[in-house]
Structure 1
Amino acid sequence: MSAEKEISKTAEEYTIKFIPPQGGDVRTIRLPINLLKYGVVSLLAGALLFVGAFSYAVYSTFANRNGAAEIEDLRQVNSIQQEQLLQLAKKANSLQEEMNQLKKLEEDIRRLSGAQPLQENQQENASGEQGVDPATHNGQGGPISTPTVQNVSDTLAIVEQGLAVRRQSLTALKEELSQRQQALGIPAVSLPGGTTPAIWPARGVVSSPYGLRWNGSDFHPGIDIANDMGTPIIATADGVVRVAGWNDGGYGNMVDIDHGNGIMTRYGHAMQVAVTAGQYVHRGQVIAYMGSTGFSTGPHVHYEVRINGQAVNPAAYLH
């Protein structure tokens, strides 16, 4: 069916008439001018809103995709950096172990040749004349700490210092052997009291030195000295006991001694503590007994020297 439309306009409204082609009733629709204006404006506004919403949706989609891609890129970069740091830590740990092996080789050469023993050997390994077997006393422990750039740098600095010491020591050994001197023992020195750590905290063997260990996966902020359960642990300098008891951070039964001037020593994994917080102790005084409490694989003492809260290598304070 077809239809003819007749549209007439008045001053106030539009009239739309629908006339059937073969007669019949004529239908009329009257639309006020204002209504048509509002309709057109609403239609345009709706179209603009639709276009705006669509554009925002497209923009948000691309923005989210770009943001997710950037986050993923950052994660990959961080993962690569962590892997590189771990590899560097492993290499630093390997260098440290090789340095220890070189030191052990020098010790063997001195012993077999009758050369004078290293004084450094008595500072870093107390197993010789004390008769402690490293094979049976190998307890280790301490808090778990992921290696950082600073940790690796500290370890590399220790290796660098060790190289200088080895070079100087081997030069002295060469001169000594060339002169074929008789080996001289190093007498034990009774140290007076003082507020600077200067003696060993316990008799035993160093089962874990300061620095990176476990193939570079852990940084050890002190040294572990292993011996029998109940071996006395002594204060390495005069000071005031700040902590004496259980520690939840992996140290087990622990003693902290404040020696003043920013110097503090820590003794961990004790079987029993023999002092109390606030007590003043003297160098050589028994403060605890060796055990395997906290994060530990066997009886030993975890010994730290801290300067202004920062752990340093205790080897420089062992005599």
Structure 2
Amino acid sequence: MAKVKYYYDSENLAYRKIKVRKRKKFGVAALFLVASALFGFLCFIVLLNTPYFETPKDRLQAREIDNLKLNFAILNKKMDQVDDVVEAIEDRDNNIYRVYFNTSAIPDSVRKAGLPGINRYKALQGYDNSQLVTNTTKRVDMLSKELAIQSKSLDVILNLAKAKNKLLAAIPAIQPVRNENLKRLASGFGYRTDPFTKARKMHEGMDFSANVGTPIYATGDGVVKNADNNTSGFGNHVVIRHGYGYETLYAHLSKYNCRAGQRVKRGDIIGYVGSTGRSEGPHLHYEVHKDGNVVNPLNFYYGNISAIEYVAISKLANQENQSLD
């Protein structure tokens, strides 16, 4: 029941009841309703921002976040596997490929070095799952960097392999006269008796005795430097420049099958056995030069003879007999 209020009427010397106007009553009621509505709205907003009250949209976002966390976890496991594969490739690269091609290994300080920049991941910070996203992004960036370094390294190895193949093809690795065409190995590399002066002198090659017209083969890939008889004592001769410091000389030919400037392959016929120049009989005088120095040709016959044949030739070549030139 509403409280009745009175006021004192001094003119009539009596207490009279205070009558509230209807408009004022309506205003008070309206103000109460507005205040109640505002209070209720504020309470609703507060509830929306508490974990105790979830809207359908909140539940959908929560599921999406959980899904993303799961996907990030799966991605990190896959990156663990990729890490293992990359490390295995790096290990083979350093300890097999680069060792084989006599190239220095790439140190871990280069492979695992951090990425440049003060804070490359500033844009990813400040969120609820920033740590997860940032760490995963860092791993992806590091893997990309390591793969780029490894890709460049394999390009280097490929170029070295191509160069190695050219080197192997250039090295004089076969006999210039086939065994079936040989009468005998007349003389080897070293000090021998000169057939003309009978003095003991250095014989800088090997003499292969064979019939006139027997084919002579290029012992490695290269370019014909000379095919003439301008050098005293050698008669008709051919010099092949193989590259990598190697040159071979074939002397006393009966005729040529190549010309200066011609590119030849190992096994190509470059001329035929003869006895031109300072020679005591039909044979091929063969020399191998490395970096301007004569070397024993016997050390290079691994391309077309067996181990047994090599031992037999080695014994004959090391006998101190008379040379044919």
TM-score, normalising length: structure 2:
0.38
Larger RCO: 1 or 2 (CA < 8 Å, sep 6+): 1
The higher radius of gyration belongs to 2
TM-score, normalising length: structure 1:
0.39
Greater fraction helix: 2
